[in-house]
Chains A and B, each alone.
Chain A
Amino acid sequence: SQKIEQNSEALNIQEGKTATLTCNYTNYSPAYLQWYRQDPGRGPVFLLLIRENEKEKRKERLKVTFDTTLKQSLFHITASQPADSATYLCAIRGSTLGRLYFGRGTQLTVWP
């Protein structure tokens, strides 16, 4: 069966450190993978997209890697801040038109 697993339901780190979140998938052939941020009581907000033929993408303090051999994406937040505290969702779009499959998310808490 198809699965998207985001390791660690919760991750707690100190301000200034790098947060690394993991997304593993099985039985998907993703065209691309996306990362979203979700704050309590709000809808997800798109952060980054990485295609199947890309290894790494960066945006300001965010970095995403994508290893289709390992079937894994890593999401990094460098110089983390308390404002980065939120749930981060990994989502995969397969070869079929349109459908996005979401993982259950990792709740990140950055403490001062």
Chain B
Amino acid sequence: EAGVAQSPRYKIIEKRQSVAFWCNPISGHATLYWYQQILGQGPKLLIQFQNNGVVDDSQLPKDRFSAERLKGVDSTLKIQPAKLEDSAVYLCASSLSLLAGVRTDTQYFGPGTRLTVL
């Protein structure tokens, strides 16, 4: 079974530039997550999709970050414009489903995209 795919693996940009990350979840997984992991910290959830609908985006800085999951499969996370503090690893994860009553889903993570903002 193929895992969660992410690209690019590394990205270096200057502040105020734009950047986009792509994620392809495990086939059949309805729930997709984007996390930000700053060096030395645990992952922090940015946004969560159930199919192509947003479940939780309360921690997404909406003035500069946006995400979409068209057709309920692949997802793109964009930052525009980037700030120095956005330097981090951006992790995508997927799980089977988050339907009411299913409370024991396991999240499968991709390798992440390491973003450096200069």
Binding site for B on A (CB under 8 A): 4, 31-32, 34, 41-46, 49, 51, 89, 91, 93, 97-105
Are A102's CB and B91's CB within 8 A?
no
10 shortest interchain CB distances as A-B pairs: A43-B109, A102-B42, A46-B106, A104-B42, A104-B41, A102-B43, A44-B109, A98-B98, A43-B91, A103-B42
A4 to B50, CA, bound (A): 26
Q: A31-B103, A98-B98 are in contact. Are A41 and B48 (CB under 8 A)?
A: no
How many B residues touch A, CB cutoff 8 Å? Answer: 25
Q: Is the CB of A98 within 8 A of B111?
A: no
Task: Name the interface residues of B4-40: CB closer than 8 Å to any CB of A.
Answer: 4, 31, 40
Assess the B107–A46 pair: CB atoms within 8 A.
Answer: yes
CA distance A8 to B10 in the complex (A): 30
Which residues in chain B, 33-61, are within 8 Å of chain A measured between CB atoms?
Answer: 40-45, 48, 50, 55-56
Q: Are B31 and A43 in contact (CB under 8 A)?
A: no
**CB–CB A44/B111 < 8 A:** no
Question: CB distance B109 to A98 under 8 Å?
Answer: no
Assembled-state Cα–Cα distance A63/B40 (Å): 25
Within the complex, the shortest CB–CB distance from A7 to chain B, in Å, comes to 14
The residues of B with any CB-CB pair to A shorter than 8 Å are 4, 31, 40-45, 48, 50, 55-56, 91, 93, 98, 100, 103-104, 106-112
**CB closest chain-A residue, reference B114:** A41
Per the bound structure, the CA–CA distance linking A39 and B108 in Å amounts to 14
Chain A residues lying within 8 Å of B50, measured Cβ to Cβ, are 98
A45 to B43, CA, bound (A): 12
Cβ contact within 8 Å between A89 and B98 = no
Closest approach, in angstroms, between the C-beta of B79 and any C-beta of chain A?
19
Determine the distance from Cα of A103 to Cα of B41 in the docked complex, in whole angstroms: 7
